[in-house]
Amino acid sequence: MNEGQPSRTAIGAAGYRAAHQLLDQGSVFRDPLARTILGAEGDAIVAGLSADAAQQPVRMFMAARSRFAEDCLHAAVSRGVRQAVVLGAGLDTFSLRSPYAEVGLRVFEVDHPATQAWKLQRLAQVGLTPPASTTFAGVDLERQPLGPALAAAGIDWDRPTFFFWLGVVPYLRREAVLATLGFIGGLPGAEVVFDYSEPLENFPPQRRAEMQALAARTAAIGEPWLSHFDPAALSDDLRNAGFDLIEDLGMGDIAARYLGAPGQPSDAGPGPHVLRAAVAP
Ligand SMILES: C[S@@+](CC[C@H](N)C(=O)[O-])C[C@H]1O[C@@H](n2cnc3c(N)ncnc32)[C@H](O)[C@@H]1O
């Protein structure tokens, strides 16, 4: 990220969710605040994304990863989990929409301090008030350990915790990703949902070119992709970090589960993944 500047890719991710509401009627992921949180520039952002048909697969992946994560949280809340952390929250609106405040779910939003300060300003500008169930903690995941920062914000590490970590892993160095996973993997009953990309050399030539173009666009705005993971090696890393259950959805699994695609999940080949990993209580 650019030093002292809020994340620009956070605007892009929120833009895709808003475009999904408009172009796909929120068919995979309903987010009634997605457009609101984009503020005055929202119509231009959504129009820009809508004009380019080539953006459709990215938009649907972004919708599916949020849907998967919120479905996993729903199951966790049903099991009694009452703490959720949104890591690298950007303009994610879950904390503002949480239907679980009345059952006592506390939400901790963690982000790079510059992005979080900007989000808080943005919320005030668009008239969205964070509920009392939400606590904000500015943390640079490249430089600060998560545990003490969230303890200072009031989290209770003796209670099971659910972690959203969407759209963040590629922007962190591998060491920072593994340090955070190592911390979460040491928490009994914890669960994390995150997305990642395979190394570009795994991709067939045409998709590799598309991914290289996307990587070049994020690098050009100062947020290069710093880490990729091979699915089999990542699974080993997660088990070594303490996770007992791993569910890793590739493109084909996502298409079959959320987009009504015909064919076998394994047909789609390499691409982005969304994964949940849980620690036994
Ligand atoms: C592409 S945005 C995704 C935002 C949000 N999770 C979403 O899906 O809309 C990337 C997010 O990662 C955060 N991020 C990047 N580097 C970070 C770091 N070193 N520490 C904490 N957050 C970081 C950015 O501030 C930004 O909110």
**What pLDDT score does 26 carry?**
96
Task: Please state, in angstroms and rounded to a whole number, the distance separating the CA atoms of residues 241 and 55.
Answer: 35
Model confidence at 263, in pLDDT bands (50, 70, 90)? low
Res. 267: pLDDT tops 80:
no
Identity of residue 193: V
12-24 mean pLDDT: 95
Going from N- to C-terminal start, the domains of the chain cover 9-278
| pLDDT single digits (tens) 200-254 | 888 888 778 878 888 898 999 999 999 999 999 999 999 999 999 999 999 889 9
7 lines ligand 1 (CB under 6 A): yes
Atom nearest to 141 CA in ligand 1: 20
Res. 266: pLDDT tops 70:
no
Least confident of 138-147, 193-202, 251-260: 251-260
Query: What are residue 194's DSSP bridge partners?
Result: 165, 275
Task: Please state, in angstroms and rounded to a whole number, the distance separating the CA atoms of residues 12 and 261.
Answer: 26
Model confidence at 166, in pLDDT bands (50, 70, 90)? very high
User: Considering the chain, what percentage of its residues have pLDDT values greater than 90?
Assistant: 81
13 lines ligand 1 (CB under 6 A): yes
Pocket test residue of 109, 115, 150, 166 for ligand 1, highest count of atoms within 8 A of CB: 115
**What pLDDT score does 205 carry?**
82
Least confident of 11-25, 156-170, 192-206: 192-206
**What pLDDT score does 4 carry?**
75
112 lines ligand 1 (CB under 6 A): yes
132-150 mean pLDDT: 96
**What pLDDT score does 184 carry?**
98
Q: Is there a contact between 173 and 142 (Cβ–Cβ < 8 Å)? A: yes
**What pLDDT score does 264 carry?**
52
For residue 109, how far is its CA from the centre of ligand 1 (angstroms)? 11
| pLDDT single digits (tens) 67-115 | 999 999 999 999 999 999 999 999 999 999 999 999 999 999 999 999 9
180 lines ligand 1 (CB under 6 A): no
Atom nearest to 168 CA in ligand 1: 12
**What pLDDT score does 3 carry?**
73
**What pLDDT score does 261 carry?**
62
In sequence order, what E strands does the chain have? 83-87, 106-111, 134-138, 162-165, 191-197, 245-249, 272-278
**What pLDDT score does 268 carry?**
57
Q: Architecture of domain 9-278 in CATH?
A: 3-Layer(aba) Sandwich (3.40)
Task: Please state, in angstroms and rounded to a whole number, the distance separating the CA atoms of residues 170 and 223.
Answer: 9
